Each structure stands twice: as C-alpha cells, then as structure tokens.
Amino acid sequence: MTQPTHITIATRESELAMWQAEYIKSELVSLYPRLEVTILGMTTQGDKTLNKSLSKIGGKGLFIKELEVALQNKEADIAVHSLKDLPMHLSDEFMIAAIGKREDARDAFVSNDFGALEMLPPGSIVGTSSLRRQSQLQRRFPELVIEPLRGNLQTRLKKLDKKQYQGIILAAAGLIRLKLKNRIRQYMSPENSIPAVGQGALAIEILKVRSDLIELLKPLHHQESAYCVLAERAMSRTLGGSCNVPLGAHAIIENKILKLQGFVASIDGKEMIKDKIEGSIADAEKLGEKLAKQLLDQGADKILASLVI
C-alpha cells in the first residue's frame, strides 16, 4: 500500500490542542522525514459556548464534531484529540487509530493563595465545570462552594488570577504539557479524585476506510496506555457515561496486571459507589465491563436513574 506523502492534522485551536497537534506532527516527521505534515486549526461548538456547562449543551461530542466533518470532507487526514473529550461511542465510519503515551492522569489543585485543598477556609470558591470533580470535592469538602469554570486552560487560569476563585481544579497533564507545572500546588491522588476516563492520553482519529493511515500511525500507539484507557472507557460505556454523569475511572498496570478503580456519584457527592478490580491486561475491556456491573450491583443504577440535569 502506498504511504501518504502529505498529512493534514485537524485540531481545536486552543493552545493545549495545538500543542498536542504539534507534538504528533513532530513525531510523524521524526519517523517519516519525507512526510509533509500541516495542521488545520478549527473552532468547535464546545469552544464557542462558554456560558453553560458541557452537560447542558450536549456533552463532549461538541469538541470533535467539526474535526470529524473535516475528515469526512477530506480537508484533514487525522484528528488529534484529548482522549477524555471523545464520546464513548464513535460513529461507525470513524476509529481510533492510535493512543499516545499517557501523561500524568491526576487532577491538580491550582491556587495563588493556598497550598492544598485542605487549607481552604469554609465558604471558599473552587472552580470546575466537571460533575465528576464536583461530586468528589463536595463529598470530601462539603463546606466549600463549587462554581462553574469553562474555557480553555489559559482562560481558566486568568479567572483564577482575577480572584474569581480561591482555587481551581485542572488536569495535571495539560499544565505539564504547556510547561505550567509550577502552577500546580497539589496533585490530587487518584484515590481522592478519581480522574476522568482517558485523562492525560491523546487519541488519533481517522476514517475507517483510510487503511493507508493505520500502518503509518502504528509507531505512535502506546499499548500500555491503550490497555488502561480501553478498560476505563469500557466501564464508562457500560454505565452509559457522559458529561451528565459524575463518574470516573483510573487504570494502572503493575507486573502485567491491570488495576482499575471507578466510581459513580450523585452530583452533591452524598451518594457515591466506588469499587476496583484487577486482572490480565489482555482482558482490559472485559475488566471495565465487569467493574461497571459490580457498581450497578451495588446500586449505581439507582444513582444513574436519579440524575436529571
């Protein structure tokens, strides 16, 4: 099969998304010095609508629709996403061709005045638009006030710097990638703040018919990261996970054993069901499905049924 001589990468135009696209571009050019790679920056509906939470405007798919249309229209060959932005079900014509090596999957507490969440006085305002983060925060710190925080990473940091919040919660991976690690005051342990499904990992999406790209992208695929995020996504998919559902999952691999933990909660965190499972990496997706069933057996179905956003 003839290898492409030119690749166009579709991406969102935020600084972090552009970093991700530039990173994939540099990897491709390093692997294939004769390959010409260009980047097509796009503004998605999710980027335009900043005055409402994702759960109220249609969920994570709003960050990928325009990029998928670019693939369909042959304006781009591949789309680079934060994996946590990808819906649990892709349309039949698309596929994830590669999952990049995962960065730190943890949540991070960012503040100009306090070194840790535990130091915040009662009534302090903490910014996040993630129902997953909100539910876990409110369970641990019911005395804090959680307020919405939308926008790209720089916009969120600016709102913090204007003292609209005493602290905000962000994904550590984005801060690290943009060399803003120094803004992190506290890394939140995955036990206390179970991350979003796929957090910290990059996904490369293509049209299924583009078999010429599958081989080209193989060297960018990090299998250990893929096992972890596939288990997480299987759990979420089985539970019907979306932006409307406060749930999280986090997998690690130790000595070829995949260890997965996950939770489902009410938005206020008063009801929460957590569990964990471990098994062979070869059974990653089955483990995710099995953990979802364990959560359902413990009453997660009642929590899910009660969620009206």
Which residues are marked as active site? 85
Report how far residue 13's alpha carbon sits from residue 273's, in angstroms, rounded to the nearest whole number: 37
Quick one: DSSP state of residue 176? H
- Report phi then psi at 168, rounded to 5: -135, 160
- 11, 20 in Cβ contact below 8 A? yes
Q: What's the token pair of residue 37?
A: 């790679």
Counting every residue written for the chain, the total comes to 309
Report how far residue 231's alpha carbon sits from residue 198's, in angstroms, rounded to the nearest whole number: 9
- List the beta strands (DSSP E) in 113-236: 125-127, 145-147, 167-171, 184-188, 202-207
String of b and e for 1-36 (b: at least 16 CB within 10 Å)? eeebeebbbbbbebebbbbbbeebbebbeeebeebe
**Paired residues of 264 in beta bridges:** 247, 273
Report how far residue 6's alpha carbon sits from residue 183's, in angstroms, rounded to the nearest whole number: 38
